[in-house]
Amino acid sequence: MCGIVGYLGDRPLLPVLLEGLRRLEYRGYDSAGVVYLRGNTLEIKKVKGRVYDLEERLFQMDHRGIKSPGLGHTRWATHGEPSDENAHPHFDCRGKLALVHNGIIENYYKLKRRLIERGHKFNSETDTEVIVHLVEDYLLEGLPLLDAFLRTLRELQGAFALAMISAEEPDKILVARYQSPLVIGIGEDELFLASDIPALLPFTKKMVFLEDREVALLQKGTLQIFDFEGRSRHYTLKEIYWDLSQAEKGGYPHFMLKEILEQPQALQNTLMGRIDLNTGEVDFSKEGLTKEWLSPINKIYIVACGTSYHAGLVGKYLLERVINLPLEVELASEFRYRNPHVTEKTLFIGISQSGETADTLASLRLAKEKGAKALSICNVLGSTITRESDIVLYTQAGPEISVASTKAFTTQVLIFILLSLYWSKLLDKNYEKSLIEKLLALPSHLGQFLERIRPKIKEIAKHWYHAKDFLYLGRNILYPIALEGALKLKEIAYIHAEGYAAGEMKHGPIALIEDTVPTVILSAKETGVIFDKTLSNAEEIKSRRGPLIGVITEGSPEFQKLCKDYIEIPRTHYEFLPLYYVLPLQLLAYEMAVLRGCDVDRPRNLAKSVTVE
């Protein structure tokens, strides 16, 4: 997720762009840049670092002759490490066009190869840069600027919010939106654009929200909207009265709720570029994950901390169904101080949202010292763990601001789903091809599911937020979800909660059951006989007056009659269960934390990234 700003009007340009970028830094902050006209020449200033570092660079320069239009960008790297070269804006070959982008261009690889064959020279490793060269290519074929822009848009696959200016038509800004937000601000004889509302609030409250597949042509005093085929579109002006804090959270009260609800988009971004739309198969070859690289492996360690460790446990259940290799999931803080049996035929999979967790990094280094191949699943490009891994599979979740990890977890799980399908293909094992179509549709189904359960979760939270102790029980692939649900409640609502394998109840924890200790029990018909075993656990608890909160397959009357409250999960594929079952647990922890007046986004004693032991 990146931040885009733009301005066309008579104010001094750079202060407008910088104020807008400062207000969008929550969307990404590994590099920043601006482009503006000086005379008839486009000038770009961009740096690896924060907006502050860009400001430092701009402060030292001569500001005479600088005028709008201008664009600014603050980056959250998805393709290409954070660096000056990879920072936006990006130029075409002639230096006459400049473009900023938020999103992922799924077919950039093919487009880039075609443009290189046509003589285009690239300066960055980004997917974004292909867009501005493609527009240039159509301009050189004689198309007018708007047509060249529209023709380019129709070729892009993926998600994008774009803004572009031309030194040859300096009275215009062209913007486009597909699956990444873009807002236009309307002032007195001036126009603004941004990825999100906060950047516009200091200048105007009148806004136009572009719809998907819409283009806007901003000219002094006029705004025109088209679809990607060039047909004019009407637009609606909205007045937004949010304050900055509300706006940064997309209008939600907390980043955590915003990030829970944006998981469908995060999952969509994670899928992008991972499924070859021609073959309908998972493809990680671009990341270097090939059959040759994997074939010597005879042992796998998955190592992580906290929520990432829980994602690793899910990964075990998924990978064991496909590969016949010894596979262990380990807490990094334990792994690093043992003497694990690791050889050059060992695959070490490190999972880390931040890519900076000290215990995980130390474990990676230990495994590599012993000769292991290192693959990391990470959310932050250029982080330490990624730089020390042989292969990195990025989760593309965008910045996760809330300390409690939500979208990072579900995108990590999705990477394991994709990895299990990919490895299955490499082993020439058949997997359900229909699973891929279902996977592509999964983000929108999860979005509908989230909206459907929110009111009921709010109600359930009111019934139980006074409780002092919780048990979370699950079996098989739902056992890690029980652990994750319990962790969420602990870390943001400060309620003691134990996640447990449901089958372990009779080995001790059942002594804890009483009417003041609610048990959240997870059961899914897709787990076959496990469903019946979990039902027995529920009956054991019920018979000891323990109140049950069920997260259960829809249409499970045998559970409904045992539970005080329950959330129903639609029938789905076994592989998708973790993604469905974790969502109500995230929301339940969130709602109880709010009812208990906790600081949801910044829980006491916790840091977003534990970079020390």
Q: Is 405 in the site for ligand AGP (CB under 6 A)?
A: yes
- Nearest by Cα to 26 from 199, 184, 201, 180: 199
Task: List CB contacts of 479: < 8 A, sequence separation 6 or more.
Answer: 313, 499, 501, 502
Tell me the longest C-alpha to C-alpha distance in the chain.
Answer: 81
Whichever of 454 and 608 has its CB closer to ligand AGP, that residue is 608
Shortest Cβ 606–ligand AGP spacing (Å): 6
φ, ψ at 408 (rounded to 5°)? -65, -40
Q: Is 257 near ligand AGP (CB under 6 A)?
A: no
Q: Which residue has the tokens 């399908």?
A: 421
Amino acid at 109: Y
Distance CA 454, CA 451 (A): 6
**Hey, what are 119's tokens?**
């003589």
The nearer residue to ligand AGP, 195 or 384, going by C-beta atoms, is: 384
Looking at beta carbons only, is 352 or 424 nearer to ligand AGP? Answer: 352
**Closest distance of CB 278 from ligand AGP, Å:** 34
Give the shortest CB-260-to-ligand AGP separation in angstroms: 12
Query: Is there binding between residue 512 and ligand AGP (CB under 6 A)?
Result: no
* Start-to-end CA span in the chain (Å): 30
- When asked if residue 491 is in the footprint of ligand AGP (CB under 6 A), the reply is yes
Nearest by Cα to 553 from 575, 531, 536, 538: 531
Query: Among residues 360, 363, 410, 411, which is the contact residue for ligand AGP, using CB under 6 A?
Result: 360
The nearer residue to ligand AGP, 21 or 256, going by C-beta atoms, is 256
Task: Quote the CA–CA distance of 395 and 378 in Å, as a whole number.
Answer: 6
Residue nearest to ligand AGP (CB): 306
Catalytic residue set: 2, 608
Kindly state the smallest distance separating residue 383's Cβ from ligand AGP, in Å: 9
| Site residue total, ligand AGP (CB under 6 A) | 15
Please say which residue, 395 or 537, places its beta carbon nearer to ligand AGP: 395
Q: 321 or 368: whose CB is closer to ligand AGP?
A: 368
* Alpha-carbon torsion, ordered 270, 331, 342, 360, to 10 deg: 60
x/- track of binding to ligand AGP for residues 91-120 (CB under 6 A): ------------------------------
- Rounded least distance, CB 456 to ligand AGP, Å: 23
Binding segment for ligand AGP among 73-81, 238-246, 312-320, 353-361 (CB under 6 A)?
353-361
CB 419 within 8 A of CB 376: no
Length of the chain, please? 613
Of 17-25, 247-255, 399-407, 433-441: span binding ligand AGP (CB under 6 A): 399-407
Cβ neighbours, 10 Å, residue 528 = 11
Under rule CB under 6 A, residue 376 binds ligand AGP: no
Residue 543 burial by Cβ neighbours in a 10 Å radius (0-12, 13-18, 19+): exposed
The sign of the CA dihedral 107, 110, 112, 118 is negative
- Least Cβ distance, residue 503 to ligand AGP (angstroms): 25
Which residues, including other chains, have CB under 8 Å from residue 59's CB and lie 6 or more apart?
none
Rg of the chain over CA atoms, in angstroms?
Answer: 25
For residue 503, how many other CB atoms are within 10 A of its CB? Answer: 17
Let me know: does 172 contact 166? Beta carbons within 8 Å.
yes
User: Looking at beta carbons only, is 204 or 609 nearer to ligand AGP?
Assistant: 609
Residues of span 281-310 touching ligand AGP by CB under 6 A = 305-308
Residues 188-227 that bind ligand AGP (CB under 6 A): none
Minimal distance, residue 545 CB to ligand AGP, in Å = 32
- Residue 586 binds to ligand AGP (criterion: CB under 6 A): no
In the complex, the smallest distance separating the C-beta of residue 593 from ligand AGP, rounded to whole angstroms, is 12
**CB nearer to ligand AGP: pick between 14 and 489:** 489
Which positions touch ligand AGP (CB under 6 A)?
305-308, 352-354, 357, 360, 403-405, 491, 609-610
